[in-house]
Structure 1
Amino acid sequence: GKVIKTQNLAALLHAIARRPKGQQLAWDFVRENWTHLLKKFDLGSYDIRMIISGTTAHFSSKDKLQEVCDFLFLTISK
């Protein structure tokens, strides 16, 4: 991108998500920008895997697990 280098996005999102206040912010960003992210990265790419794992790794509730599963099921099955 113009502000953040594409190759740095996954690491940046992971760094944001490591902070308690950043966990939901980073996950919301991924969900709201999913279509744009898939234009930058292939679905099965290392970067997409790192974005998903980096922004969800700190979730610990069953509700969050279900939220992530629902999101991935709905977006990947399109």
Structure 2
Amino acid sequence: MAMVFAVRGDYIQLDQLLKAASLVSSGGEAHILVDQGQVKVDGQVESRKRAKLRPGQRVECGGETITLTAEE
């Protein structure tokens, strides 16, 4: 399933995005998924829990795809 997430400001951290998009229930759960290599950013496995994500990027996790856009 695909969703669009509007980023407030310049960026959002990966762990915060996963929580805000309701893919995880806590930051700790987000960190576990990243550590296990279950999160991809722009098609590449992301190992940085607090990677700064910007509009135009795409995150894949648990069968979900999140496309980041700029908040208007």
Range class of TM-score, shorter chain: under 0.3
Q: Which has the larger radius of gyration?
A: 1
With CA pairs under 8 Å and 6+ residues apart, which has the higher RCO, 1 or 2?
Answer: 2
The structure with the greater share of residues assigned to strand is: 2
TM-score (norm 1): 0.26
The structure with the greater share of residues assigned to helix is: 1
